[in-house]
Structure 1
Amino acid sequence: MSLQILTIPCRTDNYAYLAHDPETGATALVDVPEAGPILDALSQHGWRLSDVLITHHHGDHVEGLKDVLSHAPARVIGAAADAHRLPPLDIAVSEGDAVHIGSETGRVIEVPGHTVGHIAFHFPESGAVFTADSLMALGCGRVFEGTMPQMHASLGKLAALPPATLVYSGHEYTAANAAFARSVDPDNPRLAARTEEIARTRAAGRPTVPVPLAEELETNPFLRAQDPAIRAHLGLESATDAEVFAEIRGRKDRF
């Protein structure tokens, strides 16, 4: 039985996620931007928190943890590489390690770039990957700590997951990301249609995440450095994929 996954808007544009295993009653929380909305959701659904999965150390992903744990004690799981600057961990994990939510087993994917210790959590049985600020809807996180080649390689790992995988990212940045994407991929009809869909979704007050990886592969320029149309538009026909990615990320930083 697949995990039941709930998207929880937090702060001004963050998302946390509750992943509930109906078979065992286990419930995991992915990232903790603030406590109030998360505790409300647990109460409304009658779910008992068993685990907290932390993707990276930034405050807008961990600041609510102390308050959540004071009301709902749970095991805290995060990257071994970042244990020195994360809240206290019960389980420290690295690339390929197993993570369990009740009866479902996920795997840790190390995705450095946005931070050097950023991790994602992939649950293949439920077709879900929690990517926070690595792969985002129509975008990727700013490269704060890692390098452009690191981020490009991290996104390559995520792009290789099954296309039907739903990508649960950390922020509601999709409309702004769409505007930028069209500036580097202006002739992509699927991107134009998706931009209109995003506007309708946001006008209705609904989140634009999760999104199927297949849709990201068709429209997210940060996954499309090999695309001849994007390369031609940027004047980088003979560059490497990593060089094209770095140019796209640099343009987004200045957009």
Structure 2
Amino acid sequence: MTAVPTVTLNNAVRIPQLGFGTFQIPPEDTRETTLAALAAGYRHIDTAEMYGNEKGVGQAVRDSGLDRDEVFVTSKLDNGAHAHDDALRAFDGTLAALGLDHLDLFLVHWPLPGRGDFVETWRAMEEIYRSGRAKAIGVSNFQPHHLRRLLDGSTVVPAVNQIEVHPYLTQDEVRAFGAEQGIATEAWSPIAQGKVLDDPAIVRIAERVGKSPAQVTLRWHLQRGDIVFPKSSTRERMEENFDLFDFELGAGDMGEISALNRDERTGPDPDRFNG
């Protein structure tokens, strides 16, 4: 079995750099799909309350035959649960749905600037962290100004910030701010929902190194130091996305892919999205 590199978070928790995403996987398919991912070698599973499929993820982890500490499980707080007590209840609901006694990582899914005070939400996250029921806590879709406000009003620095990142949205400013603060970057929509796979530069590099455009793009993420979790519902694609560790991109390839940035989002703008 290929050993996936790990990233050490700011509280010494180690997270596999390559994981499996479950966004848009129907609840009725989640158990079997996640079991297939675990069988393919993935040991990091990313879900969220709003995906509605935590139960299937938990069933797969329990049914996989793997020890609990072999699988890194992440979930995220629902957008309707930002008030302090609501956040605590929502976390209890996540553990119940998963059927697990702890999470490896729990994230605030969106900052929701027009909905309330995410600093209050973060205080609830800190309580969850101190309870030991989440080994690490973090945020998702936070911009630097959101993070500054959060850091000014809190004691625990987020372990990660999960943001949209791909060659058409390289997020250099957000990543650099995170690095300064010891906040690891996780990349969602890592291939821009497939939009980058036909890019001539990526196709050309893929042909030269004998890999697919998706593999080249995911390798670009890994070499930048980001944590990435592509999603697929087919075993063949899961295995292709996992086969990233027998080649390396040169500095020229890395620069050429990074130069494709056009600040183009596939998802909502965190400064405007309010759930």
TM-score by shorter chain over 0.5 = no
The structure with the greater share of residues assigned to strand is 1
The two structures have a TM-score, normalised by structure 2, of 0.38
The structure with the greater share of residues assigned to helix is 2
The two structures have a TM-score, normalised by structure 1, of 0.41
RCO (CA 8 Å, sep 6+): is it higher in 1 or 2? Answer: 2
